[in-house]
A = this chain, B = another copy of it.
Amino acid sequence: MSMLLDQRRESILQVIEQQGFVSLQELVSKLGASESTVRRDLEYLDGIGQIRRTRGGAAYTGDSITPFDERRASAMPEKQRIGRVVAEMIPQDATILLDGGTTTLEVARCLTGKSLQVVTNSLPIANLLAQQPSIELILIGGYLYPRTGVALGPLAAAALAEIHVPRLIMGTGGITEKGLYNSNTLLVECERLMLEAAEEVWVVADSSKFGRSALAYLCELSKVTRIIVDGGLSDHWRGVIRDAGIELTLADA
């Protein structure tokens, strides 16, 4: 029983869109198709200009969907590991509220294929998950903040007021003993409503965020249920987290 033609090519496009480049072998194993078949698909997709073939694989051509590529560079491996770990901790058929941000975007990347209900106000995350048939996606609307692609403002607030979810997964601009910070007051207002809409709050952050504050104060540590962070976290901060009664999950290599 083989995968359908269109479906397979759709998958290829999706992978290339996400990663920017795929090797031929990677596609072969990922799709379970033969090398010949993948070659034919790449040939076709190149023919209609959807991708650009290169020796050994294929590359993405055209407009970049994710507007903030530069910022993604910092702490990338850590964020990816965190993303994988968080995704594994989410049970099948759960409902999650996914905040915007680069780390939560990495979480979203690892959710592909799982059967979930995802609520988000982030355009990049919505793009990533919109094509996943197994994921039911609910978009929080609002004024689309240009730099980060998250929906904020009164419309977002109204939507969040009508929503209740068991789990919120959010990023942060900085964490100190006093609590969480983020870079933007409008964003923080929106995140406060997210906190109220959720029973559990999981914060994902690479270890460089600890000890740093940012422009806008969000909330105190007691609001947080669990923090997922890479193994580079110092003993001091591990202690702080434990003392605050927060569950700590380390995403090691």
Contacts and interface: CB of A to CB of B under 8 A. Distances in A.
Nearest to A6: B54
Contact of A159 (B9, B20, B141): B141
A116 interface: no
A203 interface: no
Copies of this chain in the oligomer? 2
A137 B139 CA distance: 15
A136 B141 contact: no
Contacts of A5: 54-56
Contacts of A155: 138-141, 159, 162
Contact of A59 (B6, B48, B142): B6
Contacts of A50: 68
Contact of A139 (B7, B57, B139): B139
A67 interface: yes
A220 interface: no
A241 interface: no
A56 B1 CA distance: 12
Interface string A139-159: 111111010010100111011
Nearest to A156: B141
A235 interface: no
A113 interface: no
A141 B151 contact: yes
A210 interface: no
B141 A139 contact: yes
Contacts of A65: 127, 130-131
Contacts of A56: 4-5
23 contacts: A5-B54, A6-B54, A10-B66, A10-B68, A50-B68, A65-B127, A65-B131, A67-B131, A121-B141, A123-B123, A123-B130, A130-B146, A131-B146, A137-B144, A138-B143, A138-B155, A139-B143, A140-B141, A140-B155, A141-B141, A154-B162, A155-B162, A158-B162
Given A13-B68, A133-B146, 12 more contacts: A4-B23, A4-B56, A50-B68, A123-B123, A123-B139, A126-B144, A137-B144, A138-B144, A139-B144, A141-B141, A141-B151, A158-B162
